[in-house]
Amino acid sequence: MDVDRMVILHQVWEREAGGLAGHWTLRGVKGGILYVKTRSSAAAQELQLRGPSLVRGINKYFRRPWIKSIRAAKD
């Protein structure tokens, strides 16, 4: 995995997620899917609702779209 992209992703995540970033923790990217640990089921539902707009917001910081979707991590 490209370390530079992950560093940018963490910075962009804070900006795009805003105040909700405290309820969501990035776990990793696999196959274009961004996995996020949520603090509660309500936070997981909010992530699901905001997922498409977060994907668009994140991808605008990269040359080519990288993230296809966002899912709550199982662990």
CATH number where 49 lies: 3.30.300
Q: pTM, whole model, 2 decimals?
A: 0.89
Res 16: pLDDT: 95
C-alpha torsion angle, residues 57, 5, 17, 70 (rounded to 10): 80
The tally of domains found in the chain comes to: 1
Res 2: pLDDT: 77
pLDDT in tens, the chain (75 residues): 578 888 999 999 999 999 999 999 999 999 999 999 999 999 999 999 999 999 999 999 999 999 999 999 987
Instruction: Supply the range of the domain harboring residue 16.
Output: 3-72
Sign of the torsion angle spanned by Cα atoms 70, 52, 50, 11: positive
